[in-house]
Structure 1
């Protein structure tokens, strides 16, 4: 009977001495050489020597490869590892979750996170993109494959770095001494723990739900107020600098979301007769998207309502020329109708064209 010999990659358990395994474990947990030296009570140069020996024995390229190997061989479990300083246990709720201040995560601009008002270091951009993918998941479990597809796309990493990034993010975000207090893990993947994190995108959707209720109730003043609150959540370039197809798609989606909210707010402002207050934002929208006919019609309405009839008609002429030059089409019926009402001085008719839906 013939037998087949299975070649296995050397592991820490078979090749490393006990002290080397301890050093590899600490490296896998993301500790620096000085932190490892303090944790193991050995000189810092001894840590460097042990690490060089580890890389040679295991055939690893660098420290990053050593971190991945520590996870792959089970020496480090995501969410567990040495702490460089003691922390007192945080008070628990009835279900055992750490009480106290939640983590806030902002996606409607450059990715940022705070705990109790203190900004958190989220690491390099690829690691931040992993956190953004979890935050955009709105509490659902995101599989490791989804993270790879969303953050790396068609160029996946050569090593299994997702658990490494999750470990580091857990360390940065955790509340109290619970490693899983913010990022939970199960057999299907990872998710942000319910109730532990406030995400501005979730708050945005809550406000827009309230806007729809105000709309159904016919309360234009409340709708304007809620839209303004929603727009205040946006604070710069969306997901600035984050790599990957998911971030790119979300930048487009959230930009369109913001424009839609602005248009709704301005439409209600026009119905309330707040023409002067709406003009500046409408001009900005027309500059950003000169072929947007509903916005052009709203700007014409606002200018006319502010006593600037000639400027309103000029907006129609410039939009008509732009449509003809860029798209080869005439103005829409809606834009022509707004133009005719301004020519006739039909204030009553214009009062019904302010809200875009």
Structure 2
């Protein structure tokens, strides 16, 4: 394998993810699970990528990942029984292929309160306030739940190392070696931002799509307590922001139909979101569907007035004004820079 291949065939974000997973020794099933894609898609993408890069087989792909610094030998390699925790949906955890029983719902909420702040000490008072709020239990329930979680998360190696440490200030979830979907979300989002900065909008849009694939419904669904409520809102906002970024990249690439489909789905889920409505109006206008775009404004205005008793904000009204007074076919590119500067994330 020569170094000219990477110059001739730039790697996409998904290529990097796949090479990283292959280099870490994951099987196709494990890659499919971690990348939220069908196993057949993993096999197909790996085959096409190897053909593009001139790699004979999987072993050559592993060597390529090492040679190009995508995986550093001896670091980050998959091990049997690795702990994986998913928080971007129902809270779930696995040791290797074995799904773990995380116990009662408050115990799960306690794990989320620690795992969402890896390698950060959280005091017992913060845990009580975050998981139980004003309805706090008597006794040493935090210690009991932490003890149970330690037993549940412990690797089947006979070692006494615990995933949850304790010091004089509180408890700490040890994130080293753990696959957390929230951490991976930010890694992919950073890669997408880097691709945008490099001018590769196609990879940036693809990266946002990969990040969004990590969500499996509402984050932390069903978990009680003020901390879970706050994080659920934060992660939902993160999802919306990534969806908006992806739509903006699609519009800049001229993929209006794709952006419209995704924004319509997002608007159905978040019917009061003015930034989403503004982007949808922009996409429809760019596709020469100005009447549909104005109908979006009329519909969200009706919802805001009837349900919330408020008029649309300045951002949405400004989008409508541009649409009414500018010729979308010839003058839109000059108007959109000012009209839509605040439509993004």
> What's the TM-score, normalizing by structure 1?
0.66
1:203 aligns with 2:184: yes
2:88 corresponds in structure 1 to 108
1:275 aligns with one of 252, 256, 274: 256
Q: Where in structure 2 are the equivalents of 1:59-138 lying within 5 Å?
A: 100-138=80-118
Secondary structure of the equivalent of 2:93? strand
Q: Distance in 2 between matches of 1:315 and 1:339?
A: 14
2:318 corresponds in structure 1 to 333
Q: Distance in 1 between matches of 2:304 and 2:213?
A: 32
1:240 corresponds in structure 2 to 221
1:167 aligns with 2:147: yes
Unmatched segments (≥5 aa) in structure 1: 1-93
Q: Distance in 2 between matches of 1:275 and 1:344?
A: 14
Aligned residues: 261
1:264 corresponds in structure 2 to 245
Q: CA deviation at 1:177?
A: 1.7
> Structure 1 residues 115, 340: CA separation in 2 closer, same or farther (over 3 Å shift)?
farther
1:146 corresponds in structure 2 to 126
1:82 corresponds in structure 2 to none
> Structure 1 residues 244, 319: CA separation in 2 closer, same or farther (over 3 Å shift)?
closer
Q: Where in structure 2 are the equivalents of 1:275-294 lying within 5 Å?
A: 275-294=256-275
Contact conserved, 1:271 with 1:351, CA < 8 A, in 2? no
Which whole-Å deviations, capped at 9, do the CAs of 1:67-97 have from their partners, x for residues lacking one?
A: xxxxxxxxxxxxxxxxxxxxxxxxxxx9xxx
2:282 aligns with one of 284, 296, 301: 301
1:346 corresponds in structure 2 to 331
Which whole-Å deviations, capped at 9, do the CAs of 1:29-81 have from their partners, x for residues lacking one?
A: xxxxxxxxxxxxxxxxxxxxxxxxxxxxxxxxxxxxxxxxxxxxxxxxxxxxx
Q: Distance in 2 between matches of 1:233 and 1:199?
A: 11
1:225 corresponds in structure 2 to 206
Q: Distance in 1 between matches of 2:224 and 2:97?
A: 27
Q: Distance in 1 between matches of 2:283 and 2:220?
A: 33
Q: Distance in 2 between matches of 1:138 and 1:236?
A: 23
Contact conserved, 1:171 with 1:179, CA < 8 A, in 2? no
Q: CA deviation at 1:350?
A: 6.7
Q: CA deviation at 1:219?
A: 2.2
Unmatched segments (≥5 aa) in structure 2: 1-73
> Structure 1 residues 187, 272: CA separation in 2 closer, same or farther (over 3 Å shift)?
same
Q: Distance in 2 between matches of 1:333 and 1:310?
A: 16
Contact conserved, 2:83 with 2:93, CA < 8 A, in 1? yes
Q: Distance in 2 between matches of 1:127 and 1:291?
A: 34
Q: Distance in 2 between matches of 1:341 and 1:293?
A: 21
> Structure 1 residues 324, 343: CA separation in 2 closer, same or farther (over 3 Å shift)?
farther
2:196 corresponds in structure 1 to 215
Secondary structure of the equivalent of 2:223? coil
1:356 corresponds in structure 2 to 344
- Structure possessing the higher radius of gyration over alpha carbons: 1
Q: CA deviation at 1:122?
A: 0.5
